[in-house]
């Protein structure tokens, strides 16, 4: 396997994602110049759903053309482009079109008319970009499954069966628009950690072209174990192996689609160390498609109401200057490309005993909480990892499946209780 790919989540320097309303190709080109100067090979790009499809029957051609122009500008700089469709959610802000809200309130996951509109939207984007050689494919939407979480203040109801059907329908729409490209679900960690979340680990690990991982230490890891604790800098590694454990296909690639160094909880002097140690662990996993840092550019302090941690996540500041984390990420990318030893298989697997129903069947994957920071499984896996054990994950339902273990190179299985 080649060295993993390195890229960034592209957050436009001017106007954040509202730059779509004042689209200026010269500003995009300037942003991409700096990104390319870091040695990146791809960017993840985020349209805003209601700006592109303000009416269910109006998918604005100009908006599609602007997405194509960003993709072309990226291509001219050696950057491939993956596009998330349904934003949906970005940095605490939610964007839903008027035709799904208030008097038109409908669940985006289960209302047939909305689903039809969404499928048309994703197919239109994929179709507009399909002719561009550097277009990698789509993700359905940045953590769009958040709207199905019971903790969301604007809950869009879905059962696991509905969520599964929705994801399959949306992936099919992407495939219809851009056949043969790599299309994905893009999940946040409730899929792995929360039993009442209708989007299940099995969906995340089995649908689409790769398993996408979003690793954020503000999920309780930093608070519980410390900002630069082994647990914090191994969170991405852990989620990658957790995703691998849920996969059916041992050769399925895993994309660390989001990881960032949020301040707070991190202090001003911690992001570089956090980045370097996190990457070292993440790169010690097999079949890692790539790492996409969140994010390219800081949010300007001229913009209001972002949570404090969202302003300083960029590798590049809001004046366009590369930050220390940007230089560190560029060094890591260069080093990995120069000498990327293929990671050795992980021969020891910690057994995850969570209900593994077929995706969409009933309320699948009860008991996911053991995987969250502080959970029994999380802690056991971390203990072994910190002790140098390089663990992976195997589902309890597969412990006796010798063929499965053999395909993955697993020679030893250990139960969390044995690691207490």
* CB closer to its own copies out of 120 and 223: 120
Write the interaction track for its own copies spanning residues 377-416; mark x where CB under 8 A is met and - where it is not. ----------------------------------------
Helices (H), 226-361: 230-233, 235-246, 271-282, 324-338
Assigned token pair, 297: 């550019």
Identify which range of 52-60, 209-217, 219-227, 331-339 contacts its own copies by CB under 8 A: 52-60
Question: Is residue 15 a contact residue for its own copies (CB under 8 A)?
Answer: yes
Minimal distance in Å, beta carbon 83 to its own copies? 19
* CB closer to its own copies out of 31 and 379: 31
Question: Is residue 268 a contact residue for its own copies (CB under 8 A)?
Answer: no
Q: Figure out which of the listed residues 25, 33, 37, 55 binds its own copies, where binding follows CB under 8 A.
A: 55
Minimal distance in Å, beta carbon 383 to its own copies? 35
Stretch 86-115 residues interacting with its own copies (CB under 8 A): 92-95, 98-99, 101-105, 113
Assigned token pair, 59: 């998918």
Triad 339, 293, 16: Cα angle to 5°? 150
Minimal distance in Å, beta carbon 114 to its own copies? 10
Identify which range of 47-55, 165-173, 317-325, 378-386 contacts its own copies by CB under 8 A: 47-55
Identify which range of 12-20, 270-278, 325-333, 374-382 contacts its own copies by CB under 8 A: 12-20
Handedness of CA 68, 72, 77, 78 (dihedral sign): positive
CA distances 153 to 94, 115, 250, 317, Å, are: 10, 21, 37, 32
Phi, psi of 402 (to 5 degrees): -60, -35
Q: Figure out which of the listed residues 2, 26, 62, 341 binds its own copies, where binding follows CB under 8 A.
A: 62
Write the interaction track for its own copies spanning residues 150-189; mark x where CB under 8 A is met and - where it is not. --xxx-----------------------------------
* CB closer to its own copies out of 56 and 398: 56
Identify which range of 58-66, 185-193, 231-239, 399-407 contacts its own copies by CB under 8 A: 58-66
Write the interaction track for its own copies spanning residues 183-222; mark x where CB under 8 A is met and - where it is not. ----------------------------------------
Minimal distance in Å, beta carbon 303 to its own copies? 5
Phi, psi of 12 (to 5 degrees): -50, 140
Contact (Cβ atoms closer than 8 angstroms) between residue 152 and residue 146:
yes
Contact (Cβ atoms closer than 8 angstroms) between residue 128 and residue 83:
no
Contact (Cβ atoms closer than 8 angstroms) between residue 170 and residue 118:
yes
- Determine the Cα–Cα distance for residues 323 and 272; give it in Å rounded to an integer: 10
Write the interaction track for its own copies spanning residues 301-330; mark x where CB under 8 A is met and - where it is not. -xxxx-------------------------
Contacts with its own copies: how many residues (CB under 8 A)?
35
Q: Figure out which of the listed residues 26, 57, 308, 319 binds its own copies, where binding follows CB under 8 A.
A: 57
Q: Using CB under 8 A, list all residues that contact its own copies.
A: 15-16, 18, 21-22, 50-51, 54-58, 60, 62-63, 92-95, 98-99, 101-105, 113, 117, 152-154, 302-305
């Amino acid at each position: 396997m080649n060295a993993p790919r390195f890229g960034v989540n592209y957050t436009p320097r001017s106007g954040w994602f509202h730059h779509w309303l004042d689209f200026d190709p010269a500003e995009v080109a300037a942003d991409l110049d700096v990104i390319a100067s870091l040695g990146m090979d791809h960017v993840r790009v985020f349209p805003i759903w209601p700006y592109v499809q303000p009416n269910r029957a109006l998918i604005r051609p100009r908006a599609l053309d602007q997405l194509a122009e960003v993709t072309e500008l990226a291509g001219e700089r050696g950057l491939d482009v993956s596009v998330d469709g349904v934003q949906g959610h970005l940095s605490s802000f939610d964007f839903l079109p008027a035709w799904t809200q208030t008097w038109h309130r409908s669940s985006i996951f289960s209302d047939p008319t909305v689903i039809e509109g969404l499928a048309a939207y994703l197919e239109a984007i994929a179709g507009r970009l399909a002719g561009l050689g550097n277009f990698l494919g789509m993700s359905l939407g940045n953590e769009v499954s958040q709207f199905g979480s019971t903790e969301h203040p604007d809950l869009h109801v879905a059962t696991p069966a509905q969520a599964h059907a929705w994801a399959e329908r949306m992936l099919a729409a992407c495939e219809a628009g851009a056949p043969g490209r790599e299309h994905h679900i893009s999940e946040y960690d409730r899929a792995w950690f929360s039993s009442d979340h209708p989007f299940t680990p099995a969906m995340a690990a089995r649908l689409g072209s790769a398993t996408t991982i979003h690793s954020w230490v503000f999920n309780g890891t930093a608070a519980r174990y410390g900002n630069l604790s082994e647990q914090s800098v191994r969170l991405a590694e852990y989620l990658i192996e957790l995703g691998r454990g849920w996969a059916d296909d041992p050769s399925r690639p895993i994309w660390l689609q989001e990881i960032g160094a949020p301040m707070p909880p991190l202090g001003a002097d911690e992001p570089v160390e956090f980045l370097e140690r996190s990457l070292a662990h993440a790169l010690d996993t097999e079949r890692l498609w790539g790492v996409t840092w969140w994010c390219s550019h800081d949010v300007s302090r001229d913009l209001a109401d972002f949570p404090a941690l969202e302003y300083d996540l960029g590798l590049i500041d809001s004046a366009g200057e590369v930050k220390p984390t940007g230089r560190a990420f560029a060094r890591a990318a260069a080093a990995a490309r120069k000498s990327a030893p293929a990671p050795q298989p992980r021969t020891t697997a910690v057994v995850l005993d969570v209900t593994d129903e077929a995706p969409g069947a009933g309320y699948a994957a009860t008991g996911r909480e053991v995987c969250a920071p502080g959970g029994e499984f999380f802690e056991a896996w971390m203990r072994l990892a910190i002790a140098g054990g390089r663990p992976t994950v195997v589902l309890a339902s597969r412990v006796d499946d010798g063929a499965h273990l053999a395909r993955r190179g697993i020679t030893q299985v250990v139960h969390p209780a044995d690691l207490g």
